[in-house]
Structures are given as C-alpha cells and as structure tokens.
Structure 1
C-alpha cells in the first residue's frame, strides 16, 4: 500500500516563497538527486491546492509537460469554468469538499502507489488532519527573512517525526521524515 507524503522546498529560515509569492530564489540552486527518479516512479497521484495549480502559465500544459503524469486532485473552492486538457495518464479532478475527500480520491486513483501532496496551505491542512505518513523537506541555501511560511497554522498541532533518509547535493539537503502517529 502506498503512503501519503507532503513534499516542499523551503528556505533555511522556513519560507516556501518570498513576500511576492515567488519561488524562483528557492529553486535557483536546486539539483535533482539520486532519490528523485524512485520517488517519481512510486507516485500514483498528486494532490495540490488551487494556488499551486494556478502557478502554471497555462493549465493545459499539465497534460503535455508536467513531470508527474498521474491523476491530479486540486483542492479548491472555485473550479475553473473551462476544464483543463488531460491525457490518458494525467486526469484533473477539482475537489471542493476538503482535504479528506481529496486524499481519499487520490489514494484510490493511485492504486497502491504513493500520493504526493504539494502546496503550503494544502500541506498544512493535510498535517492538521493527521493524514500524512511522511514529510519531505528540501532546504534551499538561502535566508529569505520574510514571505510565506511552510508551517504556519499548525501551532495547535505537535507532530513527532523520525528521520528516514537524507539526500545531499552540492547546494542543498533534503530530509524525509516518517510522521509518528
């Protein structure tokens, strides 16, 4: 059975975007590591928030260019008027009834593979609902000082972690944690 994991890149001081909601500075030093192909191969569905989904310049591009060619589940209060392009592997479902429903639908679609969750707000909802099995955090070599924090809104939730593995590149570290339930 697959796991549900939340993965993000953040600055060393805990921001996933600068104060203009820009991610470019975080990815400037990003280099894929040896664990990426296996993680991608084991991912059977992706859940993301609407803001993360809308970061693509053209929603139809997901079907042609997105690295995860699997079913996508977009957590939103406002589905688009026009449904984006899909293909035989990548389908797009807009989920309006909460994180629990999105994870349930994605787990079923993943058919025993992992479910990756992306986006700060969506990840915060996932962690608050105690639906995540693992947490994957890549740390970019930058201090942003301000912006959007990865773990805001979780002040009432104490989450215990156990380190599973670490990957290092020349510029960054990525740590995978098991969430202790």
Structure 2
C-alpha cells in the first residue's frame, strides 16, 4: 500500500542545517544504499516547503537535475511570479491551502506510489496533522550546535514509533520508523 513518508539527514544534536542555513556538512557522510534506491523508485510525488524548494541555486534546475522526476508540490504562502521550468515527468504545483491539501493532491498524482515529504517545517506540519505513515532519519556524525531542529514545535503531541529498518555505513546510521500512534496532549 502506498504510504506518506518523510525523511531527513540530521546532525547528532538534531539539526537539519547549520547556523547559516547550509546542509552541506550533513551530506558529507551520506551514501545511498539499495533501500534508498528502492524508496526512490517507489516515490510517485514529493511535497516540500518553499524554503527547501528554494535551496536550489536555480529552481528551473529541478526539471533537469532533480533526483525525483515526479510531480512536486510546494507549500507556500506566496507562489513565485515566474513559474519554474517543468518537463513531461516533473511538474511543480504551489499549494497555499496547507499540508492536508498538498498531501491530498500528491496522493492522487502518485497513483498508488509513495508520497515523500521533505523540509523540517513541512514534516512538523505533517506530524501535527497526523498524515505520516513512516519516517526515515539518517544521523550525520557531526554536532552543529545551532540551526533548525528537525522535531521542533511538537510539544503538544506524543508520537509512538516502531523501528522497521536500520542501515549502517562506516560514517552514519539511518533508521526507518513506522508511526504507530499519535495523540495530541491536553494543554491547560
């Protein structure tokens, strides 16, 4: 069955980028493996935030060089004036109605394949909306001290996970979890 999953590479202290918003240090130890390639092949759509989308030096480059040549859905409050380049496989849709609408549209076009969600803020929205089935987290062997935390703004939620897979290389560990239960905690 198709799933909605999200994943990131994080520092051991939980950051998805450094104090300057850069991610390069995190990817120095990353090595794709067979399961990564299998997940890539079963991805039918990608949902990401505007910040993640604009990390590309040239957003027109998604059509030529992005690893996921599938429809992209970009969550934003303000779509760009100039629409980025697309191709026959990769289309770009800017969604202003929220994470629920982005996931709804992505599931339709994924046509039975998985929906991958990227970006710390968007992943937090996904968890708060209880729309995620799995999460993948790869731990880079670095402590950044500052940056954007992967699991921020979830204080009112308790989320139970079950480890489903673990991959270890000489430099990092990647863990996949099934999301078993989410509940919103009472606040007073």
Q: Structure 1 length normalisation: TM-score?
A: 0.98
Contact map agreement 1:15 1:144 (CA 8 A) in 2: yes
Contact map agreement 1:33 1:168 (CA 8 A) in 2: no
- The answer for unaligned runs of 5 or more in structure 2 is 182-188
Q: Quick check: 28-37 or 75-84, which moved more?
A: 28-37
- The answer for unaligned runs of 5 or more in structure 1 is none
In structure 1, what is the equivalent of residue 129 of structure 2? Answer: 129
Contact map agreement 1:167 1:173 (CA 8 A) in 2: yes
**What is the CA–CA distance in structure 1 between the aligned matches of 2:145 and 2:58, rounded to whole Å?**
30
In structure 2, what is the equivalent of residue 87 of structure 1? Answer: 87
Q: Give the number of equivalent residue pairs.
A: 181
In structure 1, what is the equivalent of residue 112 of structure 2? Answer: 112
In structure 2, what is the equivalent of residue 16 of structure 1? Answer: 16
In structure 1, what is the equivalent of residue 52 of structure 2? Answer: 52
Q: Structure 2 length normalisation: TM-score?
A: 0.95
Aligned-residue offset at 1:28: 1.2
Aligned-residue offset at 1:73: 0.2
Matched, 1:29 2:29: yes
Deviations 1:131-157 (A, max 9, x none): 000010010001111111000100111
**What is the CA–CA distance in structure 2 between the aligned matches of 1:83 and 1:147, rounded to whole Å?**
30
SS of the residue corresponding to residue 149 of structure 1 reads: coil
**What is the CA–CA distance in structure 2 between the aligned matches of 1:43 and 1:156, rounded to whole Å?**
30
Aligned-residue offset at 1:173: 0.7
Aligned-residue offset at 1:19: 1.0
Contact map agreement 1:49 1:75 (CA 8 A) in 2: yes
Aligned-residue offset at 1:130: 0.5
Deviations 1:52-94 (A, max 9, x none): 0000011110000000000000000010001111111000000
